[in-house]
Structure 1
């Protein structure tokens, strides 16, 4: 079958690599890089290789588990901070990771629960309209006090609320990029984690006959029972909080955390990361990219996953020169992009 025409890279362009031209190729979509598989795909895949850590780093994680304290993981972007939470969950058999991605507008309430008051009122209005249609032209009774819509249908626990409500086993909670939060959020978060519970006011105000309400959990259709409006911790969650070091945290916050600093990878560690994610054979194609990454990292902020992306593109036949490859995926992270 004749190959479709592809964009022209000039007279010096070499042979077109098979399977590279997907957009305007045409060709089937390629498989994702190993680190870009999402939850459903990871569950279908074979067991992943162990997360790369040295003995000291493993010891710090174990200290947090024994103390039932949050683990604060700091380091440059791309050093594997977020992946650590998935590695702990997979190795301990604790299910999918609950994730709370923090930004400057995040509040503690966002992570605890959400209440759809508008949806509940709309449902109440529709019920009254249907009742009015069934009883017309008789005079309608006063429906105040006869509102029976289950409030649990309009409440959903957030990632932190779900972690605290877990009943059969602990859950792993990833609080990602906490250093981007409002200045008060870290201490507010620790208050809830220290107490191991929080109150949902909308449920606490219900009458005595509605003491138990079943509410939805984050990211699923499962429900948990909430008694008298209080979500109380049966198992302390495994909490992994990440920070890129954009600001300092209060001493009271740091005192209650176990801290793990992930250093910038050494040349040997970079080779291990490449072989771990892309296979030992990838190293034969990666040496110049690794050397370039190390040289630029001395003066620029780069992320390890940028190196992985460059190596992956090369070994899958990217029709790009080295300079084009680096410009596409290994741009520096400490300066704004040109307009």
Structure 2
């Protein structure tokens, strides 16, 4: 008999006792004799009996499961977030179901439906690039399931969230380039339907305006992937006046730009300094190493999960909470001549 087929009724039949006796014996109930408890537990161990998690969740109205929806697990930042989520969740006795939207709205909707059908106790969400309609996310709230956004949030939905100060981080990155003597700085921007894309662009613009540098719309290009960076960088290099600095919305975009610049004979950072965003593992293996903003993904995962567990374990009518984490610029060779 395989362990997946063993039930309390099977144990009861073999021992010649009732199913309720077996159930109470497994729970160490005082009304059950020590001899019966011993016999039940020994047989349960021999048969590799495991409690039915679905049945227990129906009985206790809690599945002890948290759902997570992320855009893509391949990014170092999101894998770091997941590590933080899992550490906090497992310490609290919860398991984690991870779903990827692959940056697709339809996939994100399907993820929500799947998690709700699995009766998860709460959901952590970072929205996809395509998400501009939110009915599926409102549906989570309508079901009474706690939800926390992280990194990519939606201002239209009032719920707990944890982010970094994207505007300040982008300002600091751009100001670093300015302080290094760069006068014509390009920005490879993220999708403007995402709040973080808008905030990082605003931080870039703020830094330029603060010191009186002109804002050239031709230097602001929506490019948030390695492939798009190649096209955008070639476009910059074909301009009559080539930029001497570049702030990219993420590290993969920055790396795509660096490789293209080097293929076309540009020296980094002598001819053009480059700054990325997220400080993933690749930032330390480029040549030169990439200056980047550390988003502290692991910390974001732990904080988001703690917020969700607080809602689960201590329900209240408190208004939505916002946690803003500090990000810091890690300066390396791609932007420093020293």
Shorter-chain TM-score range = under 0.3
Point out which structure has higher relative CO (alpha carbons under 8 A, 6+ apart). 1
Task: Give me the TM-score of the superposition, normalised by structure 1.
Answer: 0.27
Task: Give me the TM-score of the superposition, normalised by structure 2.
Answer: 0.27
